[in-house]
Amino acid sequence: MSDHTAAPATTAHTHAGRYLVVWAALTALTALTWGLSTIHIPGFGGVAVALAIATVKGTLVALFFMHLWDQPGPNRLVLITSLVFVALLVTLPLLDNATRFPLANPPDAETAPQRIRDAILNDAPPPAHP
Amino acid sequence: MSQFPDSSPPVFAERNYLNTPATGLKSWLTTLDHKRIGVMFLITTLIFFAVGGLFAMLIRIELLTPGPTIMDAMSYNRMFTLHGVVMIFLFMIPAIPSGFGNFLLPIMVGAKDVAFPRLNLLSFYVYLLGALIALGGMIYGGADTGWTFYTPYSTTTTTKVVPILLGAFILGFSSILTGLNFIVTVHTLRAPGITWNKLPLFVWSIYGTSVIQILATPVLGMTLLLVAIEHAFGWGIFDPARGGDPVLFQHFFWFYSHPAVYIMILPAMAVISEVVCAFSRKNIFGYKAVAYSSLGIAFVGFFTWGHHLFTSGQSAFNAGVFGVLSMFVGIFTAIKVFNWVATMYKGSISFKTPFVYFIGFLFFLFFGGMTGVALATVSLDIHWQDTYFVVAHFHFIMVGSTIMAFLAALHYWWPKITGRMYNERWGLVGATLVVSGFVFTFLPQFLLGNEGMPRRYFNYPERFQALNVASTAGASVLGIGFLVILVYILVSLKYGPVAGPNPWGSRGYEWLTPSPPPLENFDELPAFERGPHEYHDLPGVEAVAPGAGSSHA
Amino acid sequence: MHSAVAHHFESLEKQGQAQRLGMWLFLATEVLLFTALFAAYGVYRYLYTDAFSQASRSLETWMGGVNTFVLVTSSFTVAMGLDAVVKGKNRRTGLLFGLSILLGCVFMVLKGFEYRHHFLHAELPGPFYGGPIAGSGGSMFFSLYFLITGLHAFHVLVGMTVLGVIGARTWLGRYGAEHHVPVELAGLYWHLVDLIWIFVFPLIYLI
Amino acid sequence: MNDLLRRLLFLPPQLSRHARDVDGLHFFVVITTLVAGFLIFATALVFMIRYRRRREGEATPEVQPKHWHEAVFVGVPLAFFLLWFAIGYPQYVETTQPPPGAMDVFVQGKKWMWKFAYQGGPSSIDVLRVPAGRPVRLLITSRDVIHSFYVPELRLKQDALPGRYTQTWFQADQPGRYQVFCAEYCGLSHSGMLAELVVLPAPEFDIWIAEQRRGEARAQDAALTGSERSMPGSSILDQGRRVAADQGCLKCHSVDGSRHIGPTFIDLYSRHEKLTTGEVITADEAYLTRSMMDPAAQLVAGYQNVMPSFQGRMTPPEVAAVVEYIKSLKTPATDAGPSEGPVYEPIPR
């Protein structure tokens, strides 16, 4: 990995074979995730599997098509840092919606209790709290 | 003006960036030289500072009495919106990084220019375009949403919010381009001899700022775009009537806007780290701690945005997470404050104008920072949120700290940028007026907030009037202070004595080159054997004569 | 010294390094630009789980799948184009970039058919939604669907333009084995467009 | 001590145990800040005087920190910050968890008034009556944009989100009248969106709410039988003034001729008004009534369409009373404002 840092450019190396293998892998993984989606894995499992496959595909693209495999630290660090902040922005608001006072979520959201949803949709005060 | 009897008389560098390759307006507008672009940024941001300051004065006059004083409620609401938008997006965010940063950062890393000079010029024009669109929106009618653009108010208001959103969106690109340029410059264009541990602290802080600009600005851009789309076409991502969550907007907005506070304060810390060393003539106490804490602020600053949402309906769990993380960002500032104070120990302190601003800065940063941590202390925030306490707190940080640092930078590097000295006596008068005016403007606002006066109030109960009058009185002193500065600094452009390459006897790399610097920054590249904050190795400090940039030994 | 070296860089290699880092930083901003939409997607998918999976099932999965294949393949041809220019085979690079643009066109045409389908079934964003899903979930899904795929399609168009310009210049011999960084950067941009689609596909079509 | 510090910091009186707890933390924070500030600035001052520049070209020694210096710089502030958090967070969490058995009040913000509704039907505009010494849970919502319910004396603030509910709770100690602010910017009359929190002794509150519930029941009976509901009050003008105050008319329409969100009521009757369409009409009884039912239909030029419809929210006699009240307002009119004068200073319009 680090043996190229002295000559960070992709000069004079031929990567054609590598590209072909990566392309084949990406195609296979696309077919796999498509196939798996037809089985309908229940609950969170389906999401996890699909996202895991997408992550593998993305990693292949970033490492080989985008040459992060051969390139010096800063470029890798840039991508990794940005991914940390992607995770941050996706998880914390989601955690908020998952843990907040249920009535503070949109009234027809599936997380709100049914009777409260009805009450708010009908523009009436909700029933007394238990 | 030179302070050293043994040094040669100061010289105004004959061949400098101001007159090479040409002096015409066209050569400025098409320049790729980072110094000229920096100066153009400085001039434009200062013009917008004047505009924003005018709005601020009108707001303060309006608040002299409860009820209408000089304008009606609608004008008042537009006024504070424009004050916020102009000051934050047009002045505070670009002023130090794009202005002083552009001018100094390449010199400080020993480069001839930034990595991408054309992108740098593009950044300026993008900034100008965004500013013009936003200004157009203001003249065309203005918006009354506050600079925070909270939905659904911003998506339902009948005022002209879309051009201002688009203006801010475009300004974001300028911010991104500049940040990108700086990061690449620091990584790839450091001169031989300038290792990471010999980078000036200014560069470290600007580097941290750039990281935030790169990572946070796109999110704000997308968010503002979504609000504009919602306002124009009704695609409600945040629209509660269509199942949207207005609190999500606040999450997105503060994901940018909390780190944006650090976009404003980190460059101020950058300036102060330079000033405190130069005027104490002392090595920085704990170089690594000060340098790395800049990166720490840049990183941890991203994990705290939720402390703006304690009253918004956010979950108690999230409030806890954001609350405890917010406590950690304070310690990086604490490290810097302690190290700056410790730097003065056994120094040789000279009370020049920049140092007076440093004293003001330290005071305001300390109280602004401590009230910031107090505001993140969840239960206290419930009382203070959206009151004048918050207003006073962030003005302590943004005006008290950033503008003090901006003025310190303006005075400290004025001889480098223009080749001439300002009048030191008037400088001290201006600094005293600004610092004391500032205290009297914003100290009463803390008390107003404690008493419970909400912000963005056009009317207020009469019991709040005394403190409001005090605040307005302070603001007028502040305004006079700025006018004094404007006058003597303009006078010095023509009549100021020639400064010479290093009037302060500073060890910063930028002082190794003549004033004003030549086109490619150094006539002959120094070897940079000494660190930029080292004052102990030679008896006394020599002033480097122009044209002898390499005489560092 | 190579004529493409700017005055403030010491060598072509150093300049290339700077340009690559600059491009990566730019790509990071692109990633975060999309992140706001992905985060909104995550929140609303959590709030309207059933509506979202119902809406997702109404999409033509095969079109999304084929489009994924098309984009992955175009990424492959772009990578091969870079490989060619490094070996000094400029003409081949031009052709491969042309092929990539063609694949990009295929992607856009398929996307166009999908949009047409949605227009015909009134599956439109926000207030224009007239589809079968009750509550706010359906219109929210299609707001996000059009925003995410629209923004992505915009990036595809920009990417095709970049590939076109750089491909043509390579064909004309402006770049070569020694000076190939612009070709590489154009490729990086296209790969990012592919990378984002790799995540859009499962999020919108599969789950 | 508590009272002295409270007054020094301009804090309003503490109406609940929560307010006292929060103030306790407040004092702790202020005192640590001031002590730390004193230490730092005294040190800085000593350095500045002791090490001021005595001659040009002085040499200075290199001073580098030891590791424990930086550890102290990090550790001491962090310890205090975390301590503040450890005290403050539980106080906040307490406000999010109403005790079982708390009385529910539904709070609805709208541009620019507060409506408070109680279980079983009674409701009031801009006056929130609660019993002293009993926990009250507020379920807060909004009809238009985000507002924020804020009572400084309770140290309590909670945003009102349109279409959904947030909650908070409090237990007021002493009877009295306190001001409710809107703390989240909501447009033109944001600063006029005030209400009053009236804390009644518990027995008094019980009598009041029972009366309200009875009145509500009577009104429902009256609506069923189609007969007119009797209105308390002596003359029709008093009734009109009361209704205008209760319904919030006077928040937007002045009665002294000053320009506000809506046209002033004084001399309004039989005035010639130019409409947004350019048409000129005479403000007669029919126009006044229509403007209450469908405000957007005939808008006076120069004013925004912000008034809600009062269709179904006022009974016909109430409407008639308001019209009579407006008719009575002729220069020089001396009486203005709500009949129940608040104890806090009224906001000048």
ipTM score:
0.89
Q: Do chains B and C touch (3 or more CB pairs under 8 A)?
A: yes
> Mean pLDDT throughout A114-122?
51
C139 interfacial to chain B (CB closer than 8 Å): yes
Neighbours of chain B (3+ CB pairs under 8 A): A, C, D
pLDDT, residue A108, reads 74
Is a pLDDT exceeding 80 seen at residue D186? Answer: yes
Instruction: Read off the pLDDT of residues B275-288 as tens digits, 9 standing for 90 and up.
Output: 999 999 999 999 99
Give residue C194's Cα distance to chain centre.
5
- The domain ranges of chain B are 25-512
| Residue D91 sits at the chain A interface (C-beta within 8 Å) | no
Asked if D175 and D237 count as a contact pair (C-beta separation under 8 A), the reply is no
Retrieve residue B112's tokens.
């001839």
Cβ contacts (< 8 Å) between A117 and chain B: which residues? Answer: none
- Which candidate in D67, D70, D185 is best for mutational testing of the B interface (most B CBs within 10 A)? D185
B423 three-state secondary structure: coil
The 3-state DSSP class for residue D127 equals: strand
Of A12, A13, A50, the CB nearest to C206: A50
Secondary structure of B363-413 in HEC code, one letter for each residue: HHHHHHHHHHHHHHCHHHHHHHCCEHHHHHHHHHHHHHHHHHHHHHHHHHH
Report the gap between the CA of A103 and the closest CA in chain D (Å). 5
The pLDDT tens digits for B8-35 are 678 888 888 988 888 888 999 999 999 9
**Tokens in use for A100?**
């907040």
Half-sphere exposure of C207 (CA within 13 A, CB side): 25
How much is the mean pLDDT over chain C? 91
- Domains of chain D plus CATH, in order, are 2-50+66-96 (no CATH), 103-211 (2.60.40.420), 232-328 (1.10.760.10)
d(CA B240, CA B256): 22
The position carrying tokens 């319009």 is: D349
Residue of A nearest to B244 (CA): A106
- Asked if C21 lies within 8 A of B183 by C-beta distance, the reply is yes
Bridge partners for D196 per DSSP: D127, D179
Is B218 near chain A, with CB under 8 Å?
A: no
**DSSP H or E stretch at residue D108:** strand D103-110
Q: What residues have CB less than 8 Å from A17, skipping those under 6 apart?
A: none
- The whole-number pLDDT of residue B321 equals 94
> B475 — alpha (psi -120 to 50), left (phi > 0) or beta?
alpha
Residues in chain C with CB shorter than 8 Å from the CB of B248 are 40, 43
End-to-end CA distance of chain A: 61
**pLDDT at position C115:** 93
CB contact, 8 Å: B188 with chain A?
no
Chain-centroid distance, C-alpha B373: 20
Give this prediction's pTM.
Answer: 0.86
For residue D50, pLDDT over 50 is answered with yes
- Residues from chain C that touch A52, judged by Cβ atoms under 8 A, are none
Work out the pLDDT band at C21, boundaries 50, 70, 90.
Answer: very high
A47/C36 CB distance under 8 A: no
Whether B246 and chain D come into contact, CB under 8 Å, resolves to yes
Q: Does A107 touch chain D (CB under 8 A)?
A: yes
Give dist(CA D181, CA B291) in Å, integer: 44
Domains of chain C (ranges; CATH) run: 34-206 (1.20.120.80)
User: Is D31 in the B-facing interface, judged by CB distances under 8 Å?
Assistant: no
Inspect the interface and report whether the beta carbons of B317 and A99 lie closer than 8 Å: yes
- Residue A130: the pLDDT is 33
List the one residue out of B459, B416, B413, B488 whose CA is nearest residue B73. B459
Q: Is D5 on the interface with B (CB under 8 A)?
A: no
| Each residue's pLDDT tens digit, B233-259 | 888 789 888 888 999 999 999 999 999
pLDDT beyond 70 at A117:
no
CB contact under 8 A, A33 and C206: yes
CA distance A86 to A80: 10
Question: How many Å apart are CA D194 and CA B183, to the nearest integer?
Answer: 50
Are B478 and B441 a contacting pair, CB within 8 Å? yes
Q: Is the dihedral of CA B333, B337, B339, B343 positive or negative?
A: positive
Distance CA A94, CA B321 (A): 13
Provide the 10 A C-beta neighbour count for residue C176.
Answer: 16
pLDDT in tens, C132-187: 887 888 889 999 999 999 999 999 999 999 999 999 999 998 898 888 999 999 99
B482-496: pLDDT as tens digits:
999 999 999 999 999
Q: Which residue has the tokens 């009108």?
A: B58
Distances (CA, A) of D112 to D143, D184, D191, D192, D307: 10, 12, 9, 7, 10
User: Cβ contacts of residue D49 below 8 Å, gap of 6+?
Assistant: none
DSSP assignment of B232-248 equals HH---SS-GGGT--HHH
Q: How far is C7 from chain B (nearest CA, A)?
A: 8
How crowded is residue B43: how many other Cβ atoms within 10 Å of its Cβ?
10
Contacts of D85 in chain B (CB under 8 A): 323-324, 327, 376-378
CB nearest B303 (choices: A88, A100, A105) = A88
**Residue D249: what pLDDT?**
81
Short-list D145, D151, D149, CA closest to D188: D145
Q: Residue D58: which of B337, B348, B376 has the nearest Cβ?
A: B348
For testing the chain B interface, which of A84, A96, A103 should be mutated: the one with the most B CBs within 10 Å? Answer: A96
| Crossing angle of helices C49-57 and C137-171, rounded to 10° | 50
Q: Give the percent of chain C with pLDDT over 70.
A: 99
Q: Is the pLDDT of residue C110 over 80?
A: yes
Tokens matching residue A109: 């959201």
Are C16 and A71 within 8 A, CB to CB? no
The pLDDT score that the predictor gives to residue A79 is: 92
Q: Distance between the two ends of chain B, CA-based, in angstroms?
A: 24
pLDDT of residue A4: 37
Q: Are strands D127-131 and D195-200 parallel, antiparallel or unpaired?
A: parallel
Q: Under CATH, which number does the domain B25-512 receive? A: 1.20.210.10
Residue B172, SS3 per DSSP? helix
Q: Do C143 and B237 touch (CB under 8 A)?
A: yes
Among B128, B102, B131, B130, CA closest to B116: B102
Instruction: Please state, rounded to an integer, the average pLDDT across all residues of chain B.
Output: 91
Flag the least confident range among A54-58, B242-246, B509-513, D294-298.
D294-298
**Mean pLDDT within D112-121:** 86
Distances (CA, A) of B452 to B374, B457, C137, D29, D147: 16, 12, 40, 18, 16
Do D and C have ≥3 inter-chain CB pairs under 8 A? Answer: no
- Please give, rounded to a whole number of angstroms, the shortest distance from the CA of C99 to a CA of chain B: 30
B71: closest CA among D302, D183, D188, D185? D188
pLDDT one-digit tens code per residue, B313-353: 999 999 999 999 999 999 999 999 999 999 999 999 999 99
Distance CA A3, CA B518 (A): 40
- Looking at beta carbons, which residues of chain B come within 8 Å of C143? 235-237, 242
Q: Count other Cβ atoms within 10 Å, centred on residue C59.
A: 18
Q: Considering CB atoms only, which of B3, B283, B342 is closest to D56?
A: B3
Contacting residues of D for B286, CB less than 8 Å apart: 64-65, 69-70
D322 Cα distance to chain centroid = 25
CA dihedral B41→B44→B45→B48, nearest 10 degrees, is -170
User: pLDDT of D213-268, one tens digit each?
Assistant: 887 777 666 655 543 434 444 567 777 777 887 777 877 787 766 667 788 887 78
D308 touching A, CB under 8 A? no
A69-73, B302-306, D230-234 — most confident range: B302-306
Q: How confident is the model at residue D333 (pLDDT cuts 50, 70, 90)?
A: very low
By CB atoms closer than 10 A (0-12, 13-18, 19+), residue B122 is: middle
φ, ψ for residue D12, nearest 5 deg: -70, 165
Distance between start and end Cα atoms, chain D: 38
Give which of C60, C193, C203, C207 to mutate to test A binding, by max A Cβ within 10 Å.
Answer: C207
Output the pLDDT for position C95: 94
**Nearest-CA residue of chain A relative to D159?**
A104
Q: pLDDT-based confidence at B402, cuts 50/70/90?
A: very high
- Which segments within D155-233 are labelled E, that is strand? 156-160, 166-170, 176-182, 195-200
D102 has a pLDDT exceeding 80 = yes
Among B454, B460, B461, the residue with its CB nearest the CB of D183 is: B454
Contact A101 D139 (CB under 8 A): no
In DSSP terms, D138 is beta-bridged to D105, D168
Whether omega before B152 lies within 30 degrees of 0, making that bond cis, reads yes
Whether chain B has a CB inside 8 Å of the CB on D28: the answer is no
**To 10 degrees, the CA torsion angle through D340, D344, D345, D346?**
-40
User: Under a CB-based contact definition with an 8 Å cutoff, are residues B100 and B171 in contact?
Assistant: no
Residue from the list D117, D119, D166 with its beta carbon closest to the beta carbon of A101:
D166
- Kindly state the average pLDDT of the residues D282-291: 81
| Pairwise CB contact (< 8 Å): D191 & B540 | no
Q: Do D9 and B346 touch (CB under 8 A)?
A: no
Average pLDDT over residues A66-80: 87
- Partner residue opposite B457 with nearest CB, options D26, D190, D345: D190
CA distances from B344 to B410, D53, D80 (A): 22, 11, 25
The pLDDT assigned to D260 comes to: 73
Q: Is 50 exceeded by the pLDDT of residue D179?
A: yes
Which of C140, C167, C133, C148 is CA-nearest to residue C43? C140
Q: Of the candidates D98, D104, D165, which has its C-beta nearest A104's C-beta?
A: D165
Nearest CA in chain B to A80: B215
Q: What's the gap in Å between the CA of D216 and the closest CA on chain B?
A: 31
Of C1-10, C74-83, D121-130, the one with minimum mean pLDDT is C1-10
Q: What percent of chain C has pLDDT over 90?
A: 67
- Lowest-pLDDT range, A31-40, B339-348, D322-331? D322-331
Write down how long chain A is: 130
Q: How many of the other CB atoms lie within 10 Å of CB of A80?
A: 12
B541 touches chain D (CB under 8 A): yes
Q: Do chains A and D touch (3 or more CB pairs under 8 A)?
A: yes
Distance from CA of D320 to the nearest CA of B (A): 32
Q: With CB atoms and an 8 Å threshold, state whether B386 touches D62.
A: no
CA B290 to CA B277: how far, in whole Å?
Answer: 12
pLDDT value for D243: 80
Other beta carbons less than 10 A from residue B267's beta carbon: 30
Q: Report residue C57 as tokens.
A: 């099932």
Length of chain C in terms of residues written = 207
Helical H segments across B192-245, by residue range: 201-233
Single-letter amino acid code for the residue at B527: A
pLDDT at res. D150: 96
Residue B524 pLDDT grade (very low, low, confident, very high; cuts 50, 70, 90):
confident
The ranges assigned to domains in chain A are 2-72
Could you read off the pLDDT of B91-126 as tens digits, one per residue? 999 999 999 999 999 999 999 999 999 999 999 999
